[in-house]
Amino acid sequence: MGALAKFKELAINWDMGPADAVAVHLEWGNTGYSGHYGNPESESFYFSIDTWQEPYLVRLQKMTKDGPETLQELELPREYWSCCDYTKGVHPLPLEVQEWLKTLF
């Protein structure tokens, strides 16, 4: 079984990054997501990469109106670090990391 097998039934939004999740669930107003928020019961599942410290981490997050909840945390293999080593922070997933994660289900 893969490290993410218990989450295989989740409706993961592979196109959503951390900024998108905040805009959809926590910010109101002119965010470019007009009409895509407002349901207080809605939730999104997405991945992000945390490069604030080494080793870099990949997190499966659940976002609601109450904020994010980490469901799973994995170390990002060093071979993928170049995808986001340009700045410290929390980043959306590049395609090659998405492909790697999908093998863990």
Chain segment 6-34, per-residue pLDDT in tens: 999 999 999 999 988 888 887 665 555 55
pLDDT at 24: 81
- Nearest Cα to Cα of residue 98 among 10, 16, 9, 1: 16
Task: Tell me which of 96 and 22 has the higher pLDDT.
Answer: 96
DSSP for 47-104, please give it.
Answer: EEEE-SSSSPEEEEEEEETTEEEEEEEEEPPGGGGGGSTTSSSEEPPPHHHHHHHHTT
User: Does some domain include residue 86?
Assistant: yes
Element containing residue 25 per DSSP (H, E): helix 18-25
User: Does some domain include residue 78?
Assistant: yes
Task: Tell me the two tokens of residue 56.
Answer: 């870099």
Task: Tell me the two tokens of residue 17.
Answer: 């990054």
Question: Domain total for the chain?
Answer: 1
What pLDDT, in 10s, does the model give residues 70-86? 999 999 999 999 988 78
Cβ-based burial of 19 (10 A; exposed 0-12, middle 13-18, buried ≥19): middle
Query: Which band of pLDDT confidence, cut at 50, 70 and 90, is reported for residue 2?
Result: confident
User: Does some domain include residue 7?
Assistant: no
Calpha distance 75→3 (Å, rounded): 11
User: Does some domain include residue 56?
Assistant: yes
Which residue segment(s) compose the domain that 94 sits in?
A: 17-102
